[in-house]
Amino acid sequence: MNDYAIEYRLHAIQRMFERKVSTDELDKIIRKGKVIERYVNDSPFPSRLILGEINNRPLHVVISDNMTDKKVVVITVYEPDPRKWIKNDERR
């Protein structure tokens, strides 16, 4: 997905602000992070859970892929809870 626009849901913007994550950092995670789950049946578009790292801090980003409009919609961003995620925050 080299040629796409990023759209941020209000919820994502709020979480980015709370968690001090910039749009540049989020873009890096979207482009270079590891997809750890795919939700192909999500509506209105399929979505993905991506694992990335910013300054040694693991982050999960949930995005929806609107291929029709060449957009990636950022749904949320959060730090994985170590009690729920194992193997470097990749598995529940």
Report whether 48 contacts 30 (CB < 8 A).
no
CATH, residue 13: 3.30.2310.20
Start-end of H helices in 1-92: 10-18, 23-32
Structurally, how many domains does the chain consist of?
1
What's the pLDDT band for 3 if we cut at 50, 70, 90? confident
List pLDDT tens digits, range 24-56. 999 999 999 999 999 999 999 999 999 999 988
Q: Please give the residue range of the domain that contains residue 11.
A: 5-78
Q: Is the pTM of this model over 0.75?
A: yes
Position 90 in a domain: no
Structure token digits, residue 84: 């729920």
Instruction: Find, among 42, 36, 39, 50, the residue nearest to 1 by Cα.
Output: 50
